[in-house]
């Protein structure tokens, strides 16, 4: 069912809300929760930073050998959540994850601070760490190994979530919140829109 009062395309609405969040949210307006499901069916959540978005999807970067990477490999369907408390808004997005191109991962890796690039080599993300000093020693070793340019580790890449569902949630008085939804039509030729009871 399509609601004629809802804009037909979710991406300009997302851009508008994100722009307002960048102007008004005090901390990390591009922070989003990523929900994944492991091979055993157990869900898990974590916060990451949105590093690119558009009609082709929503991008974040991470260690592909981390728990989230393992879970995406087992089950590509993920959910995202943006929550802007100061604006009293949130956006839920559901879709399938795919790896970005190596060129995209290389470009973003090269833009990161040096210590962040060293950390991508030093950290066995999501694996047990016996002592903080071990991580710090590994960073020092990587710093000595790469005194100049730091190449992208083969296990560090990005994921693009191609959305099939959006929910835009706006706080309203007396908990009569506004919930606008978008569902991608079969074949990908546009969006069906509607509203949900709060």
Active site residues: 175
What whole-number distance in Å separates Cα of residue 108 and Cα of residue 71? 23
pLDDT in tens, 118-168: 999 999 998 999 999 999 999 999 999 999 999 999 999 999 999 999 999
Whether 1 shows a pLDDT value over 90: the answer reads no
Q: CATH assignment of 10-115+155-195, given 3.50.50.60, 3.40.920.10, 3.40.640.10, 2.30.110.10?
A: 2.30.110.10
Q: Which position has the token pair 């990005």?
A: 158
pLDDT in tens, 75-124: 999 999 999 999 999 999 999 999 999 999 999 999 999 999 999 999 99
Residue 166 pairs in a beta bridge with 93, 182
Q: Is 193 exposed, middle or buried (0-12, 13-18, 19+ CB in 10 A)?
A: buried
pTM here is 0.93
Alpha helices in the chain (DSSP H): 10-24, 67-74, 102-111, 114-122, 132-145
Q: Output the pLDDT for position 87.
A: 94
Residue 165: which H helix or E strand, with range?
Answer: strand 156-170
Q: Output the pLDDT for position 2.
A: 61
What whole-number distance in Å separates Cα of residue 114 and Cα of residue 143? 9
What whole-number distance in Å separates Cα of residue 11 and Cα of residue 24? 20
Residue 37: which H helix or E strand, with range?
Answer: strand 31-37
């Amino acid at each position: 069912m399509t609601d004629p009062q809802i804009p037909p395309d979710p991406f300009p609405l997302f851009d508008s809300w994100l722009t307002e969040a960048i102007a008004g949210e005090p901390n990390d307006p591009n922070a989003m929760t990523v929900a994944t499901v492991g091979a055993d069916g157990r869900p898990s959540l974590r916060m990451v930073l949105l590093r690119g978005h558009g009609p082709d999807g929503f991008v974040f970067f991470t260690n592909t050998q981390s728990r989230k990477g393992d879970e995406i490999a087992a089950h590509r369907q993920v959910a995202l959540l943006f929550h802007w408390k100061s604006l009293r808004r949130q956006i839920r997005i559901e879709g399938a994850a795919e790896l970005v191109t190596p060129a995209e991962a290389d470009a973003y890796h090269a833009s990161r601070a040096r210590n962040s690039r060293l950390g991508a080599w030093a950290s066995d993300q999501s694996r047990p760490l016996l002592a903080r000093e071990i991580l710090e020693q590994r960073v020092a070793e990587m710093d000595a190994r790469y005194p100049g340019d730091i190449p992208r580790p083969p296990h560090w890449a990005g994921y693009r979530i191609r959305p099939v569902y959006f929910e835009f949630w706006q706080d309203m008085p007396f908990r009569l919140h506004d919930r606008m939804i978008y569902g991608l039509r079969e074949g990908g030729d546009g969006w069906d829109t509607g509203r949900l009871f709060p």
